[in-house]
Amino acid sequence: MNVLAWAVLPYVTLAVLIGGTIWRYRYDQFGWTTRSSELYESRLLRIGSPLFHFGILVVVVGHFIGLVVPQSWTTAAGLTEHGYHVQALLLGGVAGFATLVGIAILIFRRRTTGPVFMATTRNDKGMYVVLVAAIVAGLATTLLGAGVVGQEHNYRETVAPWFRSIFVLHPDIDAMAGAPVQFRLHTLIGMLLFAIWPFTRLVHAFTAPVGYLFRPYIVYRSRAPRTANPPRLTRRVRSARAAHAAPDSPRPHSNAR
């Protein structure tokens, strides 16, 4: 079972993620969208969307540091294990909670706004279930790993080495098998999320408008060509304009009865 979970499933997930993304890009570019529903409701969207997106960005950065950067590097930089867990609890906990609140607001909006709910597909519902499960499991591992609940666990000695070993084609099965059950559950849910990623609206994350930040300025020009010497008005036109601009003269009173 450990071989299947920690040596086979990771490569199946990567194959589905990469292959599915390529297939989606080649054959369903018109469906490569979030199917925005801002026109139907924007008040809750303006609250939930920033909470979710900014929170998930911090979560992604935290996962990258925790899984990709070896523990020896952070130790050499002067960050102790206790200090790492404290900042992971503070930043990761706040970011995870913001992400959870944001997705809760978005789901509430989608369920209570009629047109938005009508546009929700079964694919969306399944995606939301897996996404929320991954967020909740991630918050649980943050609290449990930092020792807030239960015994403290340094996942950079178990999960992180296994994660890096996948990309050198030599999975460290024993390292992952020695991790607590909540970390293994979070990892399995994460692999499921990445496996369905290309076939859901989450695929839009691969085409974030990063280039917009570096695009050149847009120069607007008038369609009518400008001339150096404007055409001279004729005497008739000048007289007509002057008569139109002059105030009306008072009419004389008539004494005739």
Residues contributing to the annotated binding site for heme b: 53, 63, 186, 204
Binding site listing: 53, 63, 186, 204
Overall residue count recorded for the chain in this entry = 257
Query: How far apart (Å, rounded) are the C-alpha atoms in residues 218 and 189?
Result: 44
Cα 11 off chain centre by? 25
